[in-house]
Amino acid sequence: MEQKLLHKMFNGEATDNELAQIRQWVNADKANRERFFHERTLFDALQLTAFQKENQVRKQSIPLYKWIGSVAAAIIAMLFLYNIQLFTGKSIQPDMAFNTIKVPAGQRIEMTLSDGTHIYLNARSEFSYPTSFNGNTREVRLKGEAFFDVAKNENKKFIVNTGRCEVEVLGTQFNVEVYDEDEFSTSLLRGSVKVTDKSQPDESVVLEPNNTVSLNHGKLTVTPITDFNPYSWKEGLITFKDITFKELMKKLEKNYGIRIIINNHTLDNYACSGKFRISDGIEQVLRALQQDAKFTFEWEGKTEIRIQ
């Protein structure tokens, strides 16, 4: 099978006859299917490279069953597994049926799963999900931050596996942040979730709306949500109110995947409030802050900023 024809299909430009030809080729043997997956991954990488050169951010919903333009904002591994199932008429082994999305720094992704669950993924997040939800549960995996609006299904619990902790839900809206395994938090806006520390299975918490559960010295701790601004990231915004300069810099580090060194200690007691678009870039945010606080900043390499 010619690479050109496969890439034509991935780009959504193949004719019905060409799709039938590819279907027949995929059905022929296992080696052809492996070649298909390899070309899919290569195509995704080429798309991402082209996007980075253009320095554009595209924001679209990504239905599970087909490829949408937001590949320019994430690497989606083997997204066409579902289509391969349609080609072969056979089920694929569970360990091959997971797609993975990696969101670059300074960007976000909006997507919809096959069950209707709507998800926003924040910058520097990695999210894995099955091509279809079979069995009695709907389980996904997260490293980073995501906001979930889960489609209700009383017969299939929705489970977010974050490594150390697990969030179990039937139908609800909640935010999960777990950039570091020991810094887990879940904030519930609607419905009900059960959070379990898998290292201590007996230590589970059933969360009520407008509350947050987080790991505090290795223990699950519940606190009320007093500020809903942090969850506006799903609209592409960095929103903050009366937080310290240091706390704000931590947020910027998370969103832009850089390190910020603060040498200006006159900023220690500076309280920050504001709203910025993530797509504006970190330099725009810092310049806006300079209008009210006295400091300078300079890049040291490509991943580090020093504030004086």
pLDDT tens, residue by residue, 32-67: 776 777 677 666 555 554 444 444 444 443 343 333
Strands 137-149 and 157-161: parallel
Question: What is the model's pLDDT at position 5?
Answer: 83
| pLDDT > 90? residue 302 | no
Helix 282-289 × helix 245-256 angle, to 10°: 170
Q: Does 60 reside within a domain?
A: yes
Question: What is the model's pLDDT at position 154?
Answer: 84
Q: Does 199 reside within a domain?
A: no
Q: Does 249 reside within a domain?
A: yes
Q: Does 215 reside within a domain?
A: no
Question: What is the model's pLDDT at position 242?
Answer: 86
Q: Does 248 reside within a domain?
A: yes
Q: What is the mean pLDDT of the chain?
A: 79
Residues in contact with 206: Cβ distance below 8 Å, sequence separation at least 6, in sequence order: 192, 193, 194
Q: Does 129 reside within a domain?
A: no
Give the domain CATH number at 268: 3.55.50.30
Number of domains in the chain: 2
113-145 residue pLDDT tens: 988 999 999 988 999 998 788 888 899 999 999
Task: Say which residue the tokens 């979730």 belong to.
Answer: 193
Q: Does 4 reside within a domain?
A: yes
The residue type found at 198 is K
Which of 45, 78, 99 finishes a domain? 99
- For the chain, percent of residues with pLDDT exceeding 70: 79
Q: Does 157 reside within a domain?
A: no
Query: How many angstroms separate the CA atoms of 112 and 89, rounded?
Result: 24
The secondary structure of the chain as a DSSP string is: --HHHHHHHHTT---HHHHHHHHHHHHH-HHHHHHHHHHHHHHHHHHHHHHHHHT-------BTTS--GGGGGSEEETTTHHHHHHHH-SPPPGGG-EEEEEPPTT--EEEE-TTS-EEEE-TT-EEEEESS--TTEEEEEEEEEEEEEPPP-TTSEEEEE-SSEEEEESS-EEEEEESSTTS-EEEEEES-EEEEETTSTT-EEEEPTTEEEEEETTEEEEEE----GGGGGGGTEEEEEEEEHHHHHHHHHHHHT-EEEE--GGGTT-EEEEEEEGGG-HHHHHHHHTTTS---EEESSSSEEEE-
Q: What value does the mean pLDDT take over residues 78-90?
A: 39
Q: Are 5 and 18 in contact (CB under 8 A)?
A: yes
233-271 residue pLDDT tens: 888 888 888 889 998 998 898 888 889 999 998 898 888
| pLDDT > 80? residue 86 | no
Residue 40 sits in which domain range? Answer: 1-99
Q: Which of 168, 154, 78, 150 is nearest to 114 (CA)?
A: 150
Which of 99, 129, 152 finishes a domain? 99
Residues in contact with 25: Cβ distance below 8 Å, sequence separation at least 6, in sequence order: 1, 32
Which of 46, 74, 99 finishes a domain? 99
Cβ neighbours of 164 (radius 10 Å): 17
**What's the Rg (C-alpha) of the chain?**
22
